[in-house]
Structure 1
Amino acid sequence: MKQIYVLIVALTLTSCEYFNVKKTSPEAILNEELKTFNWNDVDVYPSFSSCDSIESKPQKTVCFTDVLTAHILKHLQSETIVVTHDVTDTINLKFQVSETGVLSLLNIEVDSTIIKEIPNIETLIHSSLDSLPKVFPAIKRGQQVKTEFELPVIIQAN
């Protein structure tokens, strides 16, 4: 009988450990969640209203870049540009779309031959963005986020 009492007391003292609940801090949960994030990808790419009917993410991305490229090229084609030699080259444009949908041109990488033939190319590109349709920002986990992307634009002048 004594052995049963000792066993019950031993089980009672050791079983309390099973009832202790370990609390996890919100910071630990946040840090664990941040580790699983892919910061280089968004759920919804920035878009224009003309791309709203497209559902798939890759097609929506292509639509956005196509509309932006077409708008820039249309503006450049409407300008009178006189060159002394044929120019066929690529300009790399680096953009940022803010959380509010403001498109900013961060950097223009232009080859020296284009600058020599079309010295005001940077001004023309900046002015083409003034008449751009409304841009809807990218979305990550239900929140509008700032994104940066590069866009190559092929310039051909004869």
Structure 2
Amino acid sequence: MRYFLGFLFVLMLTSCEYFNVKKTSSEAILKEELQTFNWNDVDEYPSFSACDSLTVKNDVKECFQKILTSHISDFLQKEIIIVSKDVSDTIVLNFKVSETGNLKLIDAKINAVTREEIPNIESLLTKSLDSLPKIFPATKHGQQVTTAFKLPIIVKVN
């Protein structure tokens, strides 16, 4: 019986370690959370009001790109562009949508022949963005965030 009480006493002393609660600071929790974020992906992509009825994330992205592409293409088709050679180029536009929903053209990868034939192509592209409908910015964890993306535009002028 004495051994049993001794064993029980030792067991009680060592078992208290299992009930200790570790205190973690909010800074440590924040640091751990920030390391698990995927900074290259957002919860919701930027969108236009025409894309509101869509619920699937990739459908919203495609809708946004489709509206933006058609808007730029429609604008360029309305412009009178005179060229001496036929121009057929795929222009890659780099955009940034701010957390307030402002769209800005960062740069455009344009072929040298296209630049030579249409010297004001970048100003036309920038001007086409002025009449866009309201853009709702991307969100990540409930916060509006700035996003960058690339969009190819096919330009054909005869």
Percent identity between the two aligned chains: 58
Q: What RMSD over aligned residues (CA atoms) do the two structures have, in Å?
A: 1.5
- Partner-residue secondary structure (3-state), 1:12: helix
Q: 2:144 matched to which residue of 1? A: 144
Q: 1:117 matched to which residue of 2? A: 117
Q: How does 1:120-131 map to 2 (within 5 A)?
A: 120-131=120-131
Q: 2:76 matched to which residue of 1? A: 76
Q: 1:43 matched to which residue of 2? A: 43
Q: 2:88 matched to which residue of 1? A: 88
Structure 1: segments with no counterpart, 5+ residues: none
CA positional deviation for 1:35: 2.8
User: What are the superposed Cα offsets for residues 94-123 of structure 1, whole Å, 9 maximum, x if unpaired?
Assistant: 000011101111111111000111011011
Aligned residue pairs total 158
User: What are the superposed Cα offsets for residues 16-70 of structure 1, whole Å, 9 maximum, x if unpaired?
Assistant: 2222111222223223322322211111110011111122111111110111111
CA positional deviation for 1:4: 4.8
Distance 1:18 1:112 in 2: 71
Q: 1:28 matched to which residue of 2? A: 28
- Partner-residue secondary structure (3-state), 1:100: coil
Q: 1:10 matched to which residue of 2? A: 10
Letter in 1 for 2:30: L
Q: 1:155 matched to which residue of 2? A: 155
- Partner-residue secondary structure (3-state), 1:127: helix
- Partner-residue secondary structure (3-state), 1:119: coil
Structure 2: segments with no counterpart, 5+ residues: none
- Partner-residue secondary structure (3-state), 1:82: coil
Q: Which moved more, 1:134-143 or 1:14-23?
A: 14-23
Letter in 2 for 1:129: L
Letter in 1 for 2:131: S
Distance 1:44 1:2 in 2: 67
